[in-house]
Every structure is written in C-alpha cells, then in structure tokens.
Amino acid sequence: MSQSESKFIPALGFSALTPFYDRLTRVALDEEGFKSRLIREACLAPGHRVLDLGAGTGTLTIMLKKAQPAAEIIGLDVDPNILAIAEKKAMASNLDIEFRRGSATAPPFEPGSFDRVVSSLVFHHLTTENKLRALRAAHALLKPGGELHIVDWGRAQNALMRGAFLAVQLFDGFETTTDNVRGRLPDFIAEAGFTSVAEVHHQMTVFGTLALYRASRGV
C-alpha cells in the first residue's frame, strides 16, 4: 500500500474509540435491520464471490457468510486494528472468512473476480476523489452482471435528520461526509460506470438518514 492509500479515518473518527464501535452501532443504529436489508438486496447464491469493502469489525461480513455459507466472503479494510477484531469475531463464530488489509481505492484483487461488492458505512470516510476511485475499482472488480450494494449516510430527509448528522460530521470530518448528506453518492456510482443505479431504501436514525443503494456492473 502506498502512503496515501494507508491514510484513513478510523471507524469512529479516532483509533482510541474503535473498541467501542460495535457497542455504539448496535445500540444507536438499527444495525441488524439495515445490514439484513442489504443482504436481502444482494441475493447471494452458492458459489458467489463477495467482497465486503471496508469490513471494519466484520459484523456485515459475518452476517453475509451466515446468510449464504456456500459463498466465498472476503472482507477488506485498511485498518489493521479493526481487522484484528473482525478476525477474532469470525474465529469465535467458527466461520471461514478471509480478511485482507488494503484500501478500497486500490483493492488487491484481480479485475472481474467478484459477483457482489457490498459496503456499509465506509464511503463517508472517503474524500470525493477517493469515493470515485473506490467506485471505479469496485466496478473493475465485478464480473459482468455483478452488483454493487452500498449502505451509507444519504441525503437528509428533513431538517431534523440534517441536524442529527452533525454528530457524524464532528467525528468523521466535514470533508468526507458532505457529499453523503447532499445525496451525491448515486451520481458518483453512475459516474464510475455502473448502470441501474437506485436508492432502494432510506431510514431515519439518531445520526441522520441512512440510505441503501444498488447498482449493476452491466454486461
């Protein structure tokens, strides 16, 4: 990884807070609900190769493997400390999941080698330039007919949600989060070459509006 690729914003903005990430997400967000919805949208089949981009503590990665044990599930994250938590959790659940260290902007995999790329709460950690880089990389990683499913902070539905999102912006910074709250992710996904880009769901949370997007690599 180059020096710029190894620079990142940790899960809760500061590395010292990473051990509290799972507890906070479980309590403050409907984590089980929105991750389960993403998995349903992704329609995993036996033999699918699936990449969880920015896997973090591995909660979604583990849920994916449990939902489709006959799929190959790989979690990628740039932060070695959070990957150690993910690996421990997967081992405790006795699940065969590969975790790799690397950046979403230059993922260490062969082009055209995945059926699904999924990602949860990662794109608001990337600058505009890196969002586009990561999306172009995800497009290149997918096989023809492959799909992208992303859940992340989306356009605030109302003033209350816009106000609530300030807490996320204070932790993770304004530079990487403003595109999200302005609802620009779908445009970026299309700009990266995806087709059939759609926001398939959004929901209010105590930290703002969460949105679920799906897109196709095309054939």
Ligand X SMILES: C[S@@+](CC[C@H](N)C(=O)[O-])C[C@H]1O[C@@H](n2cnc3c(N)ncnc32)[C@H](O)[C@@H]1O
Residue type, 36: S
User: Minimum distance between the CB of residue 184 and ligand X, rounded to whole angstroms?
Assistant: 18
Q: Between residues 110 and 219, which has the closer beta carbon with respect to ligand X? A: 110
Q: Between residues 111 and 218, which has the closer beta carbon with respect to ligand X? A: 111
Angle 125-195-207 from CA coordinates, rounded to 5° = 30
User: Minimum distance between the CB of residue 118 and ligand X, rounded to whole angstroms?
Assistant: 9
Q: Between residues 44 and 121, which has the closer beta carbon with respect to ligand X? A: 121
Residue 91: Cβ within 10 Å count: 11
Strand partners, 218: none
Q: How far apart are CA 8 and CA 68, in angstroms?
A: 30
Q: Between residues 4 and 195, which has the closer beta carbon with respect to ligand X? A: 4
User: Minimum distance between the CB of residue 173 and ligand X, rounded to whole angstroms?
Assistant: 12
Binding site for ligand X (CB under 6 A): 8-11, 25, 54-57, 59-60, 77-79, 82, 103-105, 120-122, 125-126
Q: How far apart are CA 205 and CA 219, in angstroms?
A: 36
Sign of the four-CA dihedral 40, 168, 206, 62: positive
User: Minimum distance between the CB of residue 76 and ligand X, rounded to whole angstroms?
Assistant: 6
Tokens 């993403």 label which residue? 38
Q: Between residues 123 and 194, which has the closer beta carbon with respect to ligand X? A: 123
User: Minimum distance between the CB of residue 107 and ligand X, rounded to whole angstroms?
Assistant: 8
Q: How far apart are CA 144 and CA 48, in angstroms?
A: 13
In the complex, residue closest to ligand X by CB: 56
